[in-house]
Structure 1
Amino acid sequence: MLPFYYFLALLLYIVTLPFLLILSKKSKYIKSVPARFFLKNNSFFKKKCEIWFHGCSFGEIKSITPIIHAINKDVLISTITQTGFNEASKLSVDVKYLPFELFLPFWIKDGVKTLVVLEAELWYMLFFIAKKKGMKTILLNARISDKSYSRYKKFSFFYKKVFENIDIVFAQSEIDKARLLELGAKNIQVIGNIKLAQDIKITEHFKKSDKFTITLASSHEGEEELFLKALKNCDFKDKRVFIVPRHPERFEKVEKLCVEFCFKHSLSFEKFSERKEFLSDIILVDILGELINIYAITDMVILGGSFVKIGGHNPLEPAFFNTIIITGEYIFNQKSTFERVENYYIIKSSELDDVLSNSNIQKFKKSNVLEKIDLSPILKELS
């Protein structure tokens, strides 16, 4: 299978090369694409360390922080996104962008004992080369969402080959375990979502307003318009709103939406980056890494990524602060996480207007994290 797979990777690389060159000029990808697809300033890790973690996103990298602190060993981290790279860089470890699979056979060197890959990063070449180099391979926080399950099943023959090179799987739920077994995974332990083990830390303390504070958190394309439309009947005499887009490249577009809405409805507006007084009716949080600090002064959180078909976002962080949690129907990527949260409301997009204008909004039940998970099975494998 390897020669055929490598040929397909080479063919894909050649076909997409013009697109990659264009993409490498865009601000969002100006560092990641050159590093991953052209190996610009991206040789393998210089230090020989025991454990190599690989995760895709900001959230995945953040979730392994308690594990890295607990094992107290030199580790390496690779990622594929700019936000993931920035978060990993905070941990004072060697960080790299994981190259496209075409380059992995000669990019990965000897010296690492264990490879730990997060969630659904099922790269065939990554696991294959790691095993050839004598590494123990672990898939951590593994999940198969409802949406992606049918796609995985269509290519089950391929994923069986991937799982032949994975020694241990730590799954988020029994449903995930059943699906992973069907795809060929072995040696599976269900431990829950490791994000439950995170220590939620406030990096900057802001004064909580006397007004009822609502935060639209990690919003995606189309959700800000929906949210603002639902706010038109709200009485802002006793309310304040934060809007926190998921992706920084959308800050400017969301700012325009907010300015237009505030002008039309005679409301005040400010950007988080310009001042932190929070005196306006609507505040756009246009800096990454501030969401936890905002949750700490929030009464109600509207979780983004759930009113459009993204799959939802992590409810554990707002639940830690006992906020009222409102989410849309599309939470297929977060089902196991929501099982660990007590008191949250799932609503349709059409109901958002009624919720935000409800005169008894302050009486909604507050959320709570039911339990943290035990990391000891993971730490045992990494010891």
Structure 2
Amino acid sequence: MFTAIYTLITTFAYIVSLPFLFFLQLKSKYRNAIPARFFLKNNPPFAKRAVHFHACSFGETKALEPLVKEFKEANISVITQTGFEAAKVYKNADVRYLPFEPLLWFWLKPMPALVVMEAELWYLLFYLSKKRGATTFLINARMSDRSFPKYKRFSWLYKKIFENIDYVYAQSIEDAKRLRALGAKEVEVLGNIKLLQKPVVSKTYEKQKPIVVAASTHEPEEEIIATEWVMHLKDKTTLVVVPRHPERFDEVDELLEHIAKREGLSYHRLSENPTLSGDIVLVDKLGELVNIYTVSDLVILGGSFIEGIGGHNPLEPAFFHKPIISGPHFHNHKESYGYVKGIKIVAPQDLADALEQKWQPTSIKASVDLSPLVERIKSVV
């Protein structure tokens, strides 16, 4: 009865949302994802019966690498276009967008195992996969301080979801406690598998001056960081700005060009001049952040200087032992921050002081053993 009612509600939501979806797909951010997920355009069911891995976006999909490579064949579904691009690099995997839930009734095929990353708790994905013979896994599961009360308000729904999840692998003991409180069973603490993700460097950049990277920034962080950089470091460093979302490249370009002209500084977009020779450089190409990290002298990690984003993963710059400055709003990545030694956390108004102090290298202080998880998945394949 619950499944029938849930399907009716999600189907109604789907029908009501159709006009909005038609307009939303015109945005570049959704140009491929919405037609594939909601209208199944160029998005047929998986052709081969293999382990089905599912992740949301770019970071989660990249983190699947050490697991995916353990299997001769794999299927990967994603939600976002950046996640799709990340999944395409896996030579042993077929890649699809995960359709909106009611469409899964006729899209989802039998599989030996379903392995879902982090918080992708789609009821029909787990229910239908299990009904069609899969052993189901939720891996790298986490439940932040901020999100847990919201999940508890819908505990009746999550209890139903967890009824269809056979094994849960949590990032921490606290995550495990919260997941059990929501109805999860067979919960084990494995750690954060993103610790196993070794950044792949695809290009070597030369630099003329020390590099300060404003990484994965959101509006208005570019202006906050650039303003303090101009006041304290413009004469002795290069500022490299890497916005989190590609659809903001033009908006950030306009801002940085204005600042450069006002201050008499050189500026260019990386897509127009593939060097770090300017005083200010906008990285408007995907997949370059790791390459930039390798030559950086300081990383200012975005998504953390404003409320509502929750921060971004600090593990990649810490892998290269780069000094990291972060804002105080990193609740979505609290566990990852705990794995990194040496991050300097400051309020936006204190960023200036942090820029002028001695920059200390960071290091990763934890490890993860994936073998128990791999063995359990292989045991059901």
1:358-380 Cα shifts (integer Å, max 9, x gaps): 1xx4x222101113211112111
Paired residue for 1:44?
45
Q: Which residue of 2 aligns with 1:10?
A: 11
How far, CA to CA, are the matches of 1:241 and 1:20 in structure 2? 38
2:62 alignment counterpart: 62
**TM-superposition CA deviations, 1:282-311 (whole Å, max 9, x none):** 110000101000000001101111112211
Alignment partners' CA distance in 2, 1:204 and 1:227: 26
Report the residue type matching 2:106 in the other structure.
Answer: F
The 8 Å contact of residues 192 and 336 in structure 1, kept in 2 or not, is answered as no
Give the letter for the 1:364 counterpart: W
Task: Write the distance in 1 (CA, Å) between the matches of 2:276 and 2:215.
Answer: 17
After TM superposition, what 4+ stretches of structure 1 lie above 6 angstroms from structure 2? none
Query: Structure 1: how far apart are the matches of 2:104 and 2:138?
Result: 18
Measured in 1, the distance between the counterparts of 2:114 and 2:76 equals: 10
Residue 85 of structure 1 is matched in structure 2 by 84
TM-score with structure 1 setting the length:
0.96
Aligned 8 A contact 2:323 2:359 in 1: yes
Partner of 1:275: 273
Q: CA deviation at 1:200?
A: 2.0
CA–CA distance in 2 between the matches of 1:277 and 1:242? 11
Quick check: 2:40–2:99 contact (8 Å CA) kept in 1? Answer: yes
- For 2:58, the aligned partner's letter is F
Check whether the contact 2:191–2:368 (CA below 8 A) recurs between aligned residues: yes
1:172-215 deviation digits (Å, cap 9, x = unpaired):
11111111010000111111111001122211111244x22110
Structure 1 partner of 2:210: 212
Residues 41-65 of structure 1 show CA distances to partners (whole Å, capped at 9, x for unaligned) of: 222011222x100000100000011
- For the 8 Å contact 1:66–1:199, the answer to whether it is kept is no
Structure 2 unaligned spans of 5+? none
2 CA distance for matches of 1:278 and 1:24? 34
1:370 maps to what in 2?
Answer: 365
Instruction: Kindly indicate whether residue 300 of structure 2 is the aligned counterpart of residue 302 of structure 1.
Output: yes
Letter in 2 for 1:183: L
Per-residue deviation at 1:257? 0.4
In the alignment of these two chains, the number of paired residues is: 375
Alignment of 1:316-327 (within 5 A): 316-327=315-326
Corresponding residue for 2:31? 30
CA RMSD of aligned residues (A): 1.1
Give SS of 1:11's match: helix
Q: Following superposition of structure 1 onto structure 2, how do residues 192-203 of structure 1 map, counting pairs within 5 Å? A: 192-203=191-202
Shift of residue 236, structure 1, vs aligned partner: 2.3
From 257, 263, 277, give the equivalent of 1:265. 263
Structure 1 partner of 2:53: 53
Contact 1:138 1:169 in 2 (8 A): yes
Match of 1:179 in 2: 178
C-alpha distance in 1 between matches for 2:373 and 2:250: 41
**Greater Cα offset, 334-343 or 128-137:** 334-343
TM-score where L is the length of structure 2: 0.96
Matched to 1:331, the amino acid is: F
Report if aligned partners of 2:207, 2:276 keep a CA contact under 8 Å in 1.
Answer: no
The residue that corresponds to 2:71 in the other structure is 72
Q: 1:256-285: per-residue Cα shift (whole Å, max 9, x none)?
A: 000001111111101111122311111100
- Residue 161 of structure 1 and its aligned partner are, at CA, apart by 0.3
d(CA) in 1 for partners of 2:53 and 2:44? Answer: 16
- Structure 2 match to 1:348: 347
Report if the CA contact (8 A) 2:325-2:354 is conserved.
no
Distance in 2 (alpha carbons) for counterparts of 1:231 and 1:367:
21
Query: Does the CA contact (< 8 Å) of 1:213 and 1:240 recur in 2?
Result: yes
CA distance in 1, matches of 2:100, 2:205: 42
Structure 1 window deviating more from structure 2 (308-317 vs 160-169): it is 308-317
Per-residue CA deviation, residues 207-254 of structure 1 (Å, 9 max, x unaligned), is 244x22110000012111111222231242311111000010000000
Pairs within 5 Å for 1:78-157: 78-92=77-91, 93-110=93-110, 112-157=111-156
Cα distance change on mapping 1:74 and 1:235 into 2, 3 Å: closer
Q: Report if the CA contact (8 A) 1:193-1:337 is conserved.
A: yes
What's the % identity of the aligned pairs? 47
Structure 1 stretches of 5 or more lacking a match? none
